[in-house]
A and B are shown apart, each in its own frame.
Chain A
């Protein structure tokens, strides 16, 4: 490789580092209050998307199906709190854990919308697949609900509580057991540490 090529690579890398530093400063510095008006800002940082990540904690089912296990995963860095929340929920919905861990999200569940109110209530609007494809059972439903609630509250300090919506509307429950009419706070009682880091 020529000297010129090394220089280009060096400058490029430096630029990426600076951008990452700036983005992080933006996320954790004195941020604007999160509000629905923050969205959409999806294409704002397209140049950094391939390379900038944060490490988020996502939740999967334990091998015995009894609890949630936190695992750290890289999630694309986003411009705003709301956009970051959206990325985290999408990762929580899509990510497949390594065996013997299991996903607790019904297959095909999509994120329709995500926003955070000034009170710190995050709204996670899921496609109705979450209801249709849910296998049922109180414990399963608890794990589904709290994987999402915990993923949002663990990674977004701005979100204190999470209200799950289905197809844009308030839902009683996903599978007939767990009360979704109010925003839920994080539940650590369902969480068990994993061996994997």
Chain B
């Protein structure tokens, strides 16, 4: 009856159909949905079957406290909750909910001993017999159960700028409070959670996502961002937050330009990607700023009576405010008033505070009035100390520990703690010099290495900055002005930002 080719085709089609049916049973796990209820958030495991997302009825039973009863004879399953039932049959794209047929986008399947239904079953069928609202939000992969206020949040960068503008729309509207932290902005809502698709940023905005608390939108700013402002308006049951981020007035994030480096300074010029700064915020916690001299020790006193100890304290306070407000780091000042503090005590404060950085602030003096400009000092170990350190690190010592094994002891003398950080401090000095150079006059010898007493005992990258010469008449007139002190603090702040980025990056394995 059939010709040979036709017969062959039929066989091939049958084989293909068989393969397709078998493959139709293939189930691969997918990213779980998140069930949000008054009780919290729980994952809803899902799988992909024939390109459709399905959920296993036994998972549904345990998550929603419904009963399952399989009818092997009829090839179906009954889902019941408080006397109300849903009947599903294998390979049929529909279920019967309390006698009413509800269609599903794909058939109910029995595979691997489990009943699988498309995820739309939750909102389309289960919601009808359940005593609480069940809402499926496919885009944000949420299953909202019960009386949970989970407004949808839509974030858009409307203009990359600068200034960078963005809108965040919250629907239905809730009460909104906006606060600004260094490098980020928080939009708090009066809701149980937020349904937000995380958005990549643009311009000065790095990312927009859910914060540590589920009802907070966190807007992280890129490093060159300065002041961020927000205005909130509500219309048509939608709360709109309009955000405007201005660029920073300082230059802390400019990538070092090799052309601007001082000839002869062979600094390893760390490069800065603003994202690294944001990402690495966890590592650094504390820095120490040391306002030089104090109390009876006035330091340098200029011809007109300007005292080094006042200038250093003033700059230190300005720098502290910048670092605390914009980087969120803890800042320890070795003195916050006019008092004499021994150098060892200053170093101890930094070491005990486990600071990641020490910057000591000073004002210079010269025998000749012409000498002017800022200088940065980092530690030079003299030959003898270097030898002590070399022997200590090479040989060390070991101590037996409880439970066997040995522990290696570090025998570097406490007052040579800086020996571990000489290379980092050298980088720090270069970064400080480069950033200062952009903003203030530098001396003809802007970086020096010397056996500085305070730096030697610092167990962290450390440098001493002489911001200018009080013995130079022009600098004397300028050093004690608000403008100069703020400018110096900004240059130091920029250097801290850059050095932190380099330091945290170089510590990452």
Stretch in A28-36, A45-53, A60-68 with 4+ CB within 8 Å of B? A60-68
Contact between chains at B362 and A140 (CB < 8 Å): no
Residues of A within 8 A of B397 (CB): none
Residue B377, interface by CB 8 Å: yes
**Which of A64, A178, A185 makes the CB contact (< 8 A) with B371?**
A64
**Judging by beta carbons under 8 Å apart, are B366 and A140 in contact?**
yes
Q: In the complex, what's the smallest C-beta–C-beta distance from B210 to chain A, in angstroms? A: 50
- Among A12-20, A79-87, A109-117, A169-177, the one that faces the other chain is A169-177
Contact A66 B451 (CB under 8 A): no
| Complex contacts, B384 vs chain A, CB 8 Å | 161, 182-183, 185
Interface residues on B, range: 35 or more
Cβ of A95 under 8 Å from chain B: no
B489: interface (CB < 8 Å): no
Stretch at the interface among B22-30, B78-86, B316-324, B442-450: B442-450
B383 CB–A CB distance under 8 Å: yes
B358-387, CB under 8 A of A: which get 1 and which 0?
A: 000011111110110001010000111100
Find out whether the CB atom of A139 lies under 8 angstroms from the CB atom of B453.
Answer: no
Contact yes or no, B362 A102, CB < 8 A: no
- Residues on B with beta carbons closer than 8 Å to the beta carbon of A181: 415, 453
Cβ-Cβ contact count across A and B, 8 Å cutoff: 107
Q: How far is the CA of A65 from the CA of B471 in the complex (A)?
A: 11
A135, CB-defined interface residue at 8 Å: yes
Contact (Cβ within 8 A) A137 B382: no
Do the beta carbons of A137 and B363 come within 8 Å of each other?
A: yes
Q: Decide: B368 and A65 in contact? CB cutoff 8 A.
A: yes
Residues of A within 8 A of B415 (CB): 181
| Chain B residues with CB under 8 A of A173 | 343, 453
When C-beta atoms are compared, the residue in chain B nearest to A66 turns out to be B445
Known A-B contacts A65-B371, A102-B368; A139 and B456 likewise in contact (beta carbons under 8 Å) = no
Q: Which residues of B contact A176 (CB under 8 A)?
A: 292-293, 297, 299, 343, 453
What does DSSP make chain B's interface, helix, strand, loop or mixed? mixed
Contact B365 A66 (CB under 8 A): no
Interface membership of A168, Cβ < 8 A: no
Once the chains bind, are B466 and A138 in contact (CB under 8 Å)?
yes
CB proximity of B308 to chain A, nearest CB, Å: 7
Q: Are A137 and B364 in touch, CB under 8 angstroms?
A: yes
Q: Is the CB of A172 within 8 A of B368?
A: no
Among the listed A66, A175, A182, A184, which residue makes an inter-chain contact with B443, where contact means beta carbons less than 8 Å apart?
Answer: A66
B466→A139 contact, CB < 8 A: yes
Q: What separation, in Å, do the CA atoms of A182 and B297 have in the docked complex?
A: 23
Q: Are B471 and A178 in contact (CB under 8 A)?
A: no
**Complexed CA–CA distance, A139 and B471 (Å):** 12
B409: Cβ under 8 A from any A Cβ: no
A108 at the interface (CB under 8 A from B): no
Q: Does A89 belong to the interface (CB within 8 Å)? A: no
Q: Which of A138, A140, A143, A183 contacts B452 (CB 8 A)?
A: A138
B452-482: which have CB < 8 Å to A? 452-454, 456, 464, 466, 469-471
A64 and B444 in contact, given A181-B453, A184-B451 (Cβ under 8 angstroms): yes
CB distance from B73 to the nearest CB of A (A): 93
The answer to whether B377 touches A138, judged by C-beta atoms less than 8 angstroms apart, is: yes
Please tell me if the beta carbons of B385 and A178 are within 8 angstroms of each other in the complex. Answer: no
Docked pose: A164 CA to B448 CA in angstroms: 22
Which residues A82-110 have CB closer than 8 A to chain B?
Answer: 100, 102-104
Interface centre among A135, A137, A161 (most CB of B within 10 A): A137
Given A66-B443, A176-B293, A177-B464, A137-B300 contact (CB < 8 Å): yes
Tell which of B343, B367, B464 touches A104, judged by Cβ atoms closer than 8 Å: B367
The one of A64, A104, A137, A175 in contact with B471, judged by C-beta atoms closer than 8 angstroms, is: A137
Contact of A179 among B292, B364, B368, B451 (CB under 8 A): B451
Which residue in chain B gives the minimum CB-CB distance to A61? B367
Contact call B366/A65, Cβ cutoff below 8 A: yes
Closest residue of A by beta carbon distance from B367: A102
Given A173-B343, A173-B453: A135 and B382 interface contact (C-beta under 8 Å): no
Least Cβ–Cβ distance between B19 and chain A, in angstroms: 81
Set of chain A residues within 8 Å of B370, measured between Cβ atoms:
64-65
Q: Smallest distance from the beta carbon of A164 to chain B beta carbons, Å?
A: 12
The interface residues of chain B lying within 8 Å CB-to-CB of A180 are 453
Closest 9 CB pairs of A and B: A137-B365, A65-B366, A136-B300, A65-B368, A179-B453, A137-B364, A102-B367, A65-B371, A179-B451
Not counting A137-B469, A138-B362, A139-B366, a sample of 6 additional A-B residue pairs whose C-beta atoms are within 8 angstroms of each other reads A66-B371, A136-B299, A138-B452, A140-B367, A176-B299, A176-B343
